[in-house]
Structure 1
Amino acid sequence: MEEYLSSPLAPAYGLGRHDLSRLVATGRFWRPTRGGYYAGPDPRALAVRAHTLGITSRDVVACRRTAAWLWGLDVLPPGKRQDEWPVEVVVPGGARTPPRRAHVVGRQSDRLPPGDVTSVGGVTVTTQERTALDCARWLPRLEAVAALDQFLARGVARERLRARAAELSGRRNARRLREAIALGDAGAQSPPESWVRVLVVDAGLPRPRPQVRVELPEKRVAYLDMGVERYRVGIEYDGHDHHSSVEDRAHDEWRRAQIRRLGWRLVIVRKNELFGSPATFLERVAERLWESGWRPTPGESLRLQRQLRLLGSPEARYRRYAA
């Protein structure tokens, strides 16, 4: 029998309503949605819940973060696990959305063209282009750009997104969408790197380029997470996952010492700074740029001061980057 099963198909396997109830009660089946059953090993996985929901309704299309996750991208908010994130779906206007008790967020739409719908792993989802457009338009600023960076790296065409964004002029979040597309960069290697780059740009500092190649002695090569090559200022993000072991840190210190000997000034951004006090690392970036000869215009200086004040206020920072 298939891992996924819907109530209408149960009789074909000799299962009646009471049989299904018994199997759920004994833990052999799990029912994530009304009429949808699953008998596999990971019942709470986002992909499993989306698949089970889809077999009970032909109108359901996974969208936004759920669709991006099914496309294999890291798009959930920091600290959120996939087993606790709701299945985000869109249904045709006039159709019933799935109940929220099934851990589903449903939205109605009359404007989902057939060309924006496809299938991934048996789940009906928005296409990569449409999902990139939706994430850039509806997610908070930093997360929107981080998602978009990943889609651009996948080959989604920026010009196509710009053209479709132009068609939405005057609509809700159209400006947010245009700004996210302008900030996107396929070179970012992780969502935190995308966040750092956006915060640097928003502060009015020179825009860093991701994955800057640095030629080391003895024909070795290093890549900075991002850097402003004109001023030889590099920015690197140290996340807990990849920079916590003694070996990792020893290698990083050796590598960075080699880069500094070549005249680069480096700013290392820690996880607690990015998520708790971003103004602290932006001040260091501005200082390293100044030491390297960057001279901001009066307008750029004012923009930097305003951004540092905004980031120093949790309420203002939330309105700008999390709402």
Structure 2
Amino acid sequence: MSDFGSSLDTLRSSGVVTVMRTAARIHGVDATPPCRRGRDYGVEIVVARGISDPCIPGSYVYRWKIPPSHIQTWHGIRTTTPVRTAADCAHHLPWLDAVAAVDKFLRVGLGREELAWFVERTGRRRARTVVEVADAGAESTMETWVRCMIQEVGLPRPSTQVAVRSGSETFKVDLGYREFRLGIEYDGQWFHAGAAFAGQDARRRAAIGAAGWKLLVFNMRHVLVEPQAMLEYVLTTLCQRGWRPTAERHRYIVRRIRRFAGLWRARREVWTDLALDLTGDAPLPSPTW
């Protein structure tokens, strides 16, 4: 949000309450979807009835009733409490964004039990499901997306931040199945840019391979543009590493992957330019059955 600071200055004297992504940002959680990262995202606010909307370009205005106990003040700005903010994100945001936001709230210290109790008390069924699948181990939005996509199609839920011992060193893998020595990582292009990082990553991945682990590495293009190939590759590799689903479950997962890819394609146009801008990405191997 390039104008985030100026928008907050306007809110200090308006009496409105910041909610969802804006409140999350105030609490130290970036809930902006990947396709909007680094761009302007209008502030989200609740305005009480009888109060005129503040003149903030691109703002999202809601007319919710928020109990006083769910509101706190931060540097003169009224905002929802962390637990209310996390619950709102879990209830209102698109599924992947919702899980990513709750993952981050848990990671910065919000208690799972406190959030689960709050969600249960407010009767938000969808938010309850988000809290159940959330994981404080996720270190980025796209790691969360990969994990959720894997679960969405019926594949086993991977663990987060899996420790792999190789010689005298221990490495952490974003996602993994310890039983099958299979690791999955999201390669953030901005974090891993540069020859130094590339060399460090290559040495680390070679050490993980030497420990008998297979490491699948995906990037933004795989997630946003080629999810069917990515998920089929995970399924194939899991089976090659010893996972033995029944024939019926295998067929079910294949159908789910294709259905998911079809639904995803409807959203793909929004992200294609962004993902394809990452040049030099090697195509995924074709799945073998």
Superposition TM-score tier, normalisation by shorter sequence: 0.7 to 0.9
Change (3 A) 1:96 1:245: same
Name the structure 2 match of 1:214.
164
Residue 46 of structure 1 is matched in structure 2 by 4
Aligned to 1:167: 121
* Residue aligning to 1:232: 181
Identity of aligned residues (%): 35
Deviation at 1:108, TM superposition (A): 1.0
Partners in 2 of 1:50 and 1:143 — Cα distance?
Answer: 23
Runs of 4+ in 1 over 6 A off after TM superposition: none
Q: Which moved more, 1:142-151 or 1:94-103?
A: 94-103
Task: Name 1:25's counterpart in structure 2.
Answer: none
Task: Point out which structure has higher relative CO (alpha carbons under 8 A, 6+ apart).
Answer: 2
Give the corresponding residue for 2:235. 286
Alignment of 1:112-151 (within 5 A): 112-151=66-105
Q: Aligned partners of 1:255, 1:141: CA distance in 2, in Å?
A: 33
Task: Pick one of 10, 31, 34 that aligns with 1:75.
Answer: 31
- Cα separation, 2, equivalents of 1:131 and 1:199: 24
Residues 279 and 227 (structure 1 numbering): CA distance in 2 closer, same or farther, change over 3 Å?
same
Structure 1 residue 205 corresponds to structure 2 residue 163: no
The structure with the larger Rg is: 1
Q: Is this contact kept in 2: 1:310–1:316, CA < 8 A?
A: no
| Cα RMSD, aligned residues only | 2.3
Q: Secondary structure at the match of 1:309?
A: helix
Structure 1: stretches of 5+ with no match in the other structure = 1-41
Q: Distance in 2 between matches of 1:228 and 1:317?
A: 31
Q: Distance in 2 between matches of 1:83 and 1:308?
A: 31
Deviation at 1:89?
0.5
Distance 1:214 1:81, change over 3 A: closer
1:18-48 Cα offsets, whole Å, 9 max, x none, are: xxxxxxxxxxxxxxxxxxxxxxxx9x52133
Distance 1:287 1:265, change over 3 A: same
Counterpart in the other structure of 1:277: 226
Distance in 1, Cα, partners of 2:264 & 2:185: 27
TM-score of the superposed pair, with normalisation by structure 2: 0.85
Q: Select 1:181's aligned residue among 119, 131, 147.
A: 131
CA shift, 1:260, in A, is 1.0
1:247-286 to structure 2, matched below 5 A, reads 247-286=196-235
More deviation, 80-89/245-254: 80-89
| TM-score (normalizing by structure 1) | 0.77
